[in-house]
Amino acid sequence: MVKPDRILLRSSPSEDTSPEMGLLLGHALAMDYKRVVIARDLMKSSTMMKEALVAGLTSSGADVIDLGCTSAPVTAMMAKHGDCAVYITEYREYGLISGYLLMNSNGSLFRKDQIRHLDKIFTEKQELPDYRHLGNVRTYNFATEEYNRRLLSILRAPAGCSLVLDCNCGVSADSAPQVLNGMGADVIAVNAQKDRNFISRPMSMTEAEHREIRQFVESDPGTIGVILNRIGTLATILDEKGSVMDSEKVLALIVMFLKPKCIVVPANMTSLVDDHTFRGCSRRGTQIHKGAHGRGLGMRSRRQQRSGHRVLRGWDHIRRHQHDVRRHLRIGRCGADVGGEQSVPDV
C-alpha cells in the first residue's frame, strides 16, 4: 500500500476516501489519544470504514469504545468517556464512501490545527507495538438511551404542542420522537423507521423540497414541522403556515426557551437575537456584548455586570474571552453536555 501524503477524512464527488485511509488515521490518532470513542451511521460503507479505523487504533495500542450505530449528537455527548471521538458517516450525498468526523472529548469538532498535526504525524514512520500491547475494544450499547434521558432531564418544561417530525429514515429516529413525546408533544412521525437505502431530501430552505411535510402542517391548525437530517445534526423548521423559518429566528426561539448565560454569534448576524430574545431577559440582567467589525466593545451596565449573561459577537471578541467560552459556551445546560450545537451558518 502506497502511503499518501495527507489524510483524506471525507469523500467528495471527485475523490473517495478508503479503508486504507481509516487504517492510517487510526495509527495517527493513537499517537496522541489512547482511548477513542467511535460510532457510525446507517450507510452501507460505514461498517467497513469503522472496522478499518478500529484495526488502526488497536494495532497502535489505543483502546476503543464502540457505541455502535448512533447519531452524531449521541457520539459527541459520549466523547467525554475517551480522549477523543470519531463518527463514521456520509450524510451530505447519497452514494459516497463514508468518512470520519473527529471530535474532542468535550464534543466539539477538531480544529484545523489539530488536523494539520495529524497530517504531520501521518507522514512520519511509526513503529507498532507487539501483541502484548495491542489495544482493546469495548462495546457500549446504551449510549442512545443515556442521551435521551439526559435531554429529558434538562428539557423539563412541558412542550404542549403538535408537530410533524421527519427523521429521513436515519439514526435521529432513535432520539427525536422519543424525546419530544417525553416532553408532552403530540408527534406525527414521518420516515421514522431506519433505512440505509432511503435517499433523504436535501436540507435546504426551499419550500418546494418540503411539500409533503407542509401538507401535514397545513391540514392541522397550530401544528409546526421539524425535518432532521439522517444523523441529527441539521434541522429545518416549518411554522404553523408551513413556511420555512430562517435560521436566525430559530436560534432566537431556542435561546428564549433555554436562557443561556453565554452565547456566541457571528459578527454579521442581525440584532434579532439581541432585540427579540434578550429584550425580555434584560430585566433579569442579561448581559449583551456587541462588537463593530468583529470587535467587542466591552461596555456593560452595572446590572449586566452583576448578571454574568453575555453574547459574544465576532472572532476578536471570542478570542479575548476564550477561557470563558470554553467554560460557559452552552445553550442552557446543553451544549457539549448533550453533544448538541444549536447554531446558524458561520457560528
Q: Which CA distances in Å does 190 have to 14, 60, 135, 168?
A: 33, 43, 41, 8
Residues in the chain: 347
What does the pLDDT look like over 26-85, one tens digit per residue?
A: 999 999 999 999 999 999 999 999 999 999 999 999 999 999 999 999 999 999 999 999
Distance CA 48, CA 100 (A): 12
Q: Give the model's pLDDT for residue 326.
A: 52
pLDDT at res. 3: 56
* 185-218 per-position pLDDT tens digit: 999 999 999 998 887 766 554 555 678 888 889 8
Residue 20 backbone phi and psi in degrees, to 5? -60, -35
Report the phi/psi class of residue 346: left, alpha or beta, with left for phi > 0 and alpha for psi in -120 to 50: left
d(CA 5, CA 120): 9
> What pLDDT, on a 0 to 100 scale, did the predictor assign at position 287?
43
CA torsion sign for 124, 129, 130, 131 is negative
Q: Which of 40, 25, 140, 126 is nearest to 82 (CA)?
A: 140
**pTM of the full structure:** 0.79
Dig out the grid coordinates for 276 from the structure: 427579540
Closest CA to 343 of 48, 120, 107: 107
Alpha-carbon distances, residue 96 vs 4, 32, 230 (angstroms): 20, 29, 15
User: Distances in Å between the alpha carbon of 281 and those of 261, 262, 285, 312, 332?
Assistant: 11, 13, 7, 16, 14
* Torsional class of 224: left (φ above 0), alpha (ψ -120 to 50), beta (otherwise): beta
The torsion defined by the Cα of 229, 235, 239 and 243, in degrees rounded to 10, comes to -70
